[in-house]
Structure 1
Amino acid sequence: MPPTVNAGLPIREYILVALITAALTFLLTGLVRRFATRIGAIATPRARDVHVIPIPRMGGLAMYFGVCGGMALAHQLPVLRRAFEYSLDPVGVLLGGAVIVLIGALDDRFELDAWTKLAGQVMCAGILVLFGVQWLELWVPWGGDDESIGSVLVLDKNQGALFTVLLVVVMVNAMNFVDGLDGLASGLGFIAAAATCVFSIGVLSSTNNYVGAYPPALIAATLAGACLGFLPHNFQPAKIFMGDSGSMLIGLMLSSASVSASGRIPYSQFEATDILGLLSPLIVVAAVLFLPLLDLLMAVVRRTRRGESPFAADKMHLHHRLLEIGHSQRRAVLLIYFWAGLLAFGAVSVTLFDSAAVLWVVGAGLLVAILVSAVPRLRSRNQGAQQ
């Protein structure tokens, strides 16, 4: 376990790093947009797409360089430098991120096949493992004695590496899958990264007070800044898409932050009641990605039942359904933001506040989300009845 420090995590320094990352990303996105247009990295409208005019993509380049700038600033700050002194996680994220952005940029320009991208994703996950971003202990809800809930599996290097690679590949593809409406992936990336950063600062520093909290907080803060800086260019009507270079970068950094925050905690030293809090980063990401993952599962079932390939495109995804029942693009995106934010910050709040109060608030929020999501359908039914 990393050594402890006497002071809590510096919130203002993380905010500064996030804002600098956002500013750099915002400024660089305009340059990347012109570059993408010049080299022909253009998203031409297809039958399943929502946009109707060609739009440049490859925005992940601006996001990555923004992250590099934020990391460079953090390295010069006396307190945040600890994230680099006690861990190679940030370096692994920068190198793995560079490779995955390059693969994504090539796909944005030349449309790589699925197997080539999968091989690249596995390679990038391997880079993270080589730099120590690896799950060491895994809590499971079975196998405990009468006085404990669940048990802890200690993973060897091969098992930990395999689990980490699987987690990275799943998250990378989930974020790639959700990038279907203007501003959707960047907004969800910001929500998940912000919630993970809040967890790392608020929970790890206050309860354990050890430097192992610095790397995940830094990774999450820079990712949140990159998503925030890119969002003004990407929100409907989008001037540029992040493309695979951006969506895969978000998935890589989210999985890295989750593994760095939760994957190396010695669970055997904690009570069963602490497990939820310790697993919050993974729960946060799972909460944000729950809707796209559910949508992915439903799409696979739907297509295979029709005798089609699971990778065949259609217009029956979650965001397409929200548009069909009467929501505008902006309203559909904001609704998904609301659902994701409610689930993500609800998961973190359970570890920070009274669980009963949090459940009541989250329950009320879910009820509001259901009602607001159903309003266009109710309105269309009433109009149909009147006619």
Structure 2
Amino acid sequence: MIMYLSMMLTAAIVSYGATWGARLIGDRLELFAPIRSRDMHSSPVSRLGGLGIFAGVLVALAVASQSFFVKDIFRNNGAPWGVLAGAAVIVLVGVADDLLDLRWWVKLIGQAFAALVVAVWGVRMTIIPFIPEPIRFDSDPVNIVLTTGLIVVTMNAFNFIDGLDGLAAGVAVIGGSAFFLTAYWVHRNAPILDRSDLATLLTAVLVGSCLGFLPHNWFPSKIFMGDSGAMLIGLLMASAGVVSTGQITSGLYDRVNGIPTIIPILLPFAVLFLPLLDLCLAVVRRTAVGRSPWSADRGHLHHKLMDIGYSHRTAVMLLYLWAAVLSFGGLAFAVYPWQVVLAIMVAATLVMGLVTAWPYLSRRGENTGVGQASE
């Protein structure tokens, strides 16, 4: 645990300093995000923050490759470097989009290429969790296509929720922390000699980098992560999920409580539920009116929360709570009996649903009361 936390701290320190540098460069060169009708900011803000997050990831992984215990992850294993190479590609694509506003199909090609780099030289999805038995794919082309598709979807999901100050980074910290604790706990209690794990390292580095970036991005934001940061988070989160999914038949998850067969896939989906939900709703909403799924609008979850009466900060905190309930609920399935966890999750979801809708319900009640009184 100490070495993973050391890498997390390293990533946080580097990310904080590098984001400060990115702020200075962006402000001096006036590389500001345009102010559009759907945006929540009203003053010029640079969106080079993804460079700061990537710097934290890069330095932390480089240090990890030479550090006690975690360096075993890199021994005769090119996967960490493949993930890092894919991360470098997607950051370049994201910076180009942030500065030049690439067409959606050009950005999609860049996303697919970055994901392909990870799938070819990094990690691959070889198993899809299923009950009673997981489905295994022995074909390299199929594995590469599945991995590429998953990473592209996850990158776009995180990109879609990056609409309020601190939202995407905070959700990544919360979800990544739950993912980190689960991966670490499973390996810590496994009957194996080498307990180092790439998924645990990736999530530790991701959480640290986002923590270092978050003080710069908290409302009112002094810098945005941009597409480069949001897509980088999605790529790292998806890569960690692929690593965990591939461990289903290793016997590691046979020792956990609850429903071990689907824990490796349950947790990533729990962590990514909000981004994926926002992505799905956006695709349905836009295609229903004949627009491209990639066209921007002001209909995301965070927009809806502010429309019903939440302030900027309150909307972010509410989405943090949703992320915590879902992510740590997924973690609880690995530790406690699933019946208990499921009951608590249902109750927590109902309470959170009521809290989320309260401004709308209270306003509707007031309007109903006014209507009845006027009659």
Confirm or deny a common fold (TM above 0.5): yes
- Following TM superposition, by how much is the alpha carbon of 1:205 offset from its aligned partner in structure 2, in angstroms? 3.1
CA contact (8 A) 1:204 1:210 kept: no
- Following TM superposition, by how much is the alpha carbon of 1:60 offset from its aligned partner in structure 2, in angstroms? 0.7
Cross-structure match for 1:4: none
Cross-structure match for 1:231: 214
Cross-structure match for 1:133: 123
- Following TM superposition, by how much is the alpha carbon of 1:296 offset from its aligned partner in structure 2, in angstroms? 2.6
The two structures have a TM-score, normalised by structure 1, of 0.88
- Following TM superposition, by how much is the alpha carbon of 1:40 offset from its aligned partner in structure 2, in angstroms? 3.5
Work out the CA distance in 1 between the residues paired with 2:19 and 2:253.
44
- Following TM superposition, by how much is the alpha carbon of 1:87 offset from its aligned partner in structure 2, in angstroms? 2.4
2:312 to 329, 348, 362: 329
Alignment of 1:42-81 (within 5 A): 42-81=32-71
What is the letter of the counterpart of residue 201 of structure 1? Y
- Following TM superposition, by how much is the alpha carbon of 1:169 offset from its aligned partner in structure 2, in angstroms? 0.7
CA contact (8 A) 1:93 1:253 kept: yes
Work out the CA distance in 1 between the residues paired with 2:332 and 2:179.
11
Work out the CA distance in 2 between the residues paired with 1:64 and 1:132.
17
Cross-structure match for 1:123: 113
What is the letter of the counterpart of residue 18 of structure 1? M
Cross-structure match for 1:216: 199
1:353 to 316, 324, 336: 336
Work out the CA distance in 2 between the residues paired with 1:45 and 1:133.
38
Work out the CA distance in 2 between the residues paired with 1:279 and 1:216.
16
Please give the secondary structure, in 2, of the residue aligned with 1:248.
helix
Say if 1:178 and 1:217 are closer, same or farther in 2 by CA, change over 3 A.
Answer: same
- Following TM superposition, by how much is the alpha carbon of 1:212 offset from its aligned partner in structure 2, in angstroms? 7.1
Cross-structure match for 1:178: 161
Alignment of 1:281-360 (within 5 A): 281-360=264-343
Alignment of 1:205-284 (within 5 A): 205-209=188-192, 211=194, 213-266=196-249, 276-277=259-260, 279-284=262-267
Say if 1:280 and 1:140 are closer, same or farther in 2 by CA, change over 3 A.
Answer: closer
- Following TM superposition, by how much is the alpha carbon of 1:362 offset from its aligned partner in structure 2, in angstroms? 2.1
Cross-structure match for 2:373: none
Cross-structure match for 2:72: 82
CA contact (8 A) 1:261 1:281 kept: yes
CA contact (8 A) 1:139 1:267 kept: no
CA contact (8 A) 2:154 2:276 kept: no
Work out the CA distance in 2 between the residues paired with 1:195 and 1:273.
16
What is the letter of the counterpart of residue 62 of structure 1? G
CA contact (8 A) 1:325 1:377 kept: yes
2:15 to 25, 44, 50: 25
- Tell me how large the CA RMSD over aligned residues is: 2.4
CA contact (8 A) 2:254 2:260 kept: no
- Following TM superposition, by how much is the alpha carbon of 1:83 offset from its aligned partner in structure 2, in angstroms? 1.1
What is the letter of the counterpart of residue 156 of structure 1? S
Work out the CA distance in 2 between the residues paired with 1:279 and 1:261.
11
1:371 to 354, 359, 364: 354
> Deviation digits for residues 311-352 of structure 1, max 9, x if unmatched?
333222211110011111111111111111111111121111
Work out the CA distance in 2 between the residues paired with 1:312 and 1:171.
17
What is the letter of the counterpart of residue 131 of structure 1? W
CA contact (8 A) 2:198 2:240 kept: yes
Q: Tell whether 2:87 aligns with 1:104.
A: no
Is there any run of 5+ residues in structure 1 with no aligned partner, and where? Answer: 1-10, 142-148
What is the letter of the counterpart of residue 218 of structure 1? L
CA contact (8 A) 2:171 2:320 kept: yes
CA contact (8 A) 1:288 1:343 kept: yes
Say if 1:155 and 1:108 are closer, same or farther in 2 by CA, change over 3 A.
Answer: same
Cross-structure match for 2:142: 159
CA contact (8 A) 1:29 1:62 kept: yes
Work out the CA distance in 1 between the residues paired with 2:161 and 2:26.
22
What is the letter of the counterpart of residue 100 of structure 1? I
- Following TM superposition, by how much is the alpha carbon of 1:247 offset from its aligned partner in structure 2, in angstroms? 0.5
Say if 1:283 and 1:41 are closer, same or farther in 2 by CA, change over 3 A.
Answer: farther
Please give the secondary structure, in 1, of the residue aligned with 2:74.
helix
Runs of 4+ displaced beyond 6 Å: 267-275
What is the letter of the counterpart of residue 16 of structure 1? S
The two structures have a TM-score, normalised by structure 2, of 0.91
Say if 1:65 and 1:243 are closer, same or farther in 2 by CA, change over 3 A.
Answer: same
> Deviation digits for residues 151-171 of structure 1, max 9, x if unmatched?
532332111111111111111
What is the letter of the counterpart of residue 293 of structure 1? L
Is there any run of 5+ residues in structure 2 with no aligned partner, and where? Answer: 371-375
- Following TM superposition, by how much is the alpha carbon of 1:96 offset from its aligned partner in structure 2, in angstroms? 1.2
Work out the CA distance in 1 between the residues paired with 2:10 and 2:76.
24
CA contact (8 A) 1:267 1:275 kept: no
**Identity level (%):** 39
Work out the CA distance in 2 between the residues paired with 1:115 and 1:168.
16
Work out the CA distance in 2 between the residues paired with 1:269 and 1:384.
56
